[in-house]
Structure formats: C-alpha cells, structure tokens
C-alpha cells in the first residue's frame, strides 16, 4: 500500500496514520451484517470525472484508501459503463494486499460483481479470463438470453429485478453467497439507483482540490423522493485533499 501521509482531524486528531490504524477506521467488527459501502472521488465543485474518467481527480492519498477499501470487502460492485469507461481489468489485488486479507481470514481477492442490464460485455475480456476469482454479473430477467448464456461460461449470473435492477434483491443475493461486506465503486447512475432503493449504508468520498466546471456528472445521478441524510464518521487530510466517511442516517 502507498505510504503517502494521511492525518486524522475528526473525530480525533492523529498524525501520519500507519496501515493498521487506517484499517481500523474503515474495518467493520461485525462482518455478518450486510453493509454496502460506496466510494467516490469528486472535485470541490462537484465533478465526478475529468475528461470522462475519475483518474484525473485521484491522488496518492485517494489511491491508498481506494486500495484499502478493496482489501476490506468481500465483493467489489461496479456498473458495466464504469467498467468500460475506466478500463477495468481483473479484480486482482497486489500481493501485499492479498497477504493482509489472508491474515484477516479472508480469501486473497474480493469477488468482482459487474452490474449490467444489456450484458454488453466480452466473455474473452481479461476481466473474466484472468480473474483470480470467478466474477459475478448482476442483471435482470429481461437481459438478452443469448448474451446471458455466453457470459454464463465465464461468470456467475445473478438475476436481480425483472426489467430494472432491484438493488434490494442484489444485496440479498450477494449476502446469501457470503458476500456481506459490499463495496461499490460506481458509476453515478448505479449510485443513484442504490440511494433511491435505500440500500446504501456508507459513503467514502475523496474531495479533490480541483475546480473542474464543464458538464461532468456528479457522483450520483437520477431522481430521489427525498434527500438522504448523512452522519459524518471521520475526516482525513493529506496535503490539500480531504477524505471523508459518512454513514447514512436510519
């Protein structure tokens, strides 16, 4: 894991957090409870991407926490559009991260779960062919049968919804597989759907010290019946970057 300095400023002050101290801030003691965490990076003026991807916003501090959150989860959930836009590869952690997972009694790598209604995914992609753990594709009953059959050769297919994604069915289906610690990396449309369904428990948000302007998406897209209230869990700082953790108020 990167050694970039991270300091805690809330709820307690602590300087230059070591990996164990950082892990304790994000790890959940009761892994039997289903918990859906979402992780995003945003510019100060609300842009989730620069030139269509989030990579221009993240720095070493963001990458350090990004890697840690993958270390702590059972499954990484990503929308297919984000998988394509961000050029995702196989969900394979670096060996030090895999070793720390093993020391915690976890498998070396989390499961990669891709959410796709249209199943516009290539079975020959390295995401599937080089995966250290068989991926999961979460789709709906209306998904094209021929594509579903082709992808079933390289991934487990989970049906969550009839025509549209049913986030509650998704989280339940993953938990039934023992994947209770669920970590979503986007994108905005998927995040908006998860918020609307009330299944998000936590948001980890890196505030990048940039002003982007333009027409970039926010971290969440779509309509909500009412705003979701958040409770601030902690604030970390690295240089001019803020790393925030919120829990959704129930």
pLDDT tens per residue across span 109-167: 999 999 999 999 999 999 999 999 999 999 999 999 999 999 999 999 999 999 999 99
pLDDT digits 0-9 by tens, 213-222? 888 889 999 9
Rounded Cα distance between 243 and 245, Å, is 7
Contact 98, 109 (CB under 8 A): yes
Q: Kindly give the pairing relationship between strand 75-79 and strand 35-43.
A: unpaired
Q: Is 54 helix (H, G, I), strand (E, B) or coil?
A: helix
- What pLDDT, on the 0 to 100 scale, is given for residue 216? 87
Q: pTM score, two decimals?
A: 0.96
Average pLDDT of span 13-25: 95
- What local confidence, expressed as pLDDT, does residue 2 receive? 47
Cβ 124 vs Cβ 103: under 8 Å: no
Task: Please answer whether residues 9 and 235 qualify as being in contact, where contact means their C-beta atoms are separated by less than 8 angstroms.
Answer: yes
Which residue's structure tokens are 């709906």? 140
User: Which of 37, 92, 32 shows the shortest CA–CA distance to 69?
Assistant: 37
């Amino acid at each position: 894991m990167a050694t970039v300095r991270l300091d805690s400023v809330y709820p307690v002050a602590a300087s230059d957090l070591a990996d164990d101290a950082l892990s304790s801030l994000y790890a959940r003691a009761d892994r039997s409870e289903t918990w859906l965490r979402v992780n995003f990076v945003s510019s100060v003026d609300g842009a989730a991407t620069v030139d269509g991807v989030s990579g221009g916003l993240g720095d070493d501090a963001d990458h350090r926490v990004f890697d840690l959150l993958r270390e702590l989860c059972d499954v990484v959930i990503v929308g297919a559009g984000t998988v394509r836009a961000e050029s995702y590869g196989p969900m394979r952690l670096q060996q030090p991260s895999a070793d720390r997972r093993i020391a915690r009694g976890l498998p070396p790598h989390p499961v990669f779960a891709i959410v796709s209604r249209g199943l516009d995914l290539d079975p020959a992609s390295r995401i599937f062919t080089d995966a250290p753990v068989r991926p999961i594709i979460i789709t709906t009953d209306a998904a094209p049968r021929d594509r579903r059959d082709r992808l079933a050769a390289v991934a487990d297919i989970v049906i969550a919804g009839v025509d549209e994604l049913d986030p509650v069915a998704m989280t339940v289906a993953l938990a039934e597989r023992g994947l209770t610690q669920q970590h979503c990396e986007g994108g905005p449309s998927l995040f908006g759907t998860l918020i609307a369904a009330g299944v998000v428990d936590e948001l980890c948000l890196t505030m990048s010290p940039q002003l982007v302007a333009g027409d970039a998406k926010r971290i969440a897209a779509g309509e909500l019946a009412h705003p979701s209230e958040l409770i601030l869990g902690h604030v970390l700082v690295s240089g001019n970057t803020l790393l925030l953790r919120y829990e959704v108020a129930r």
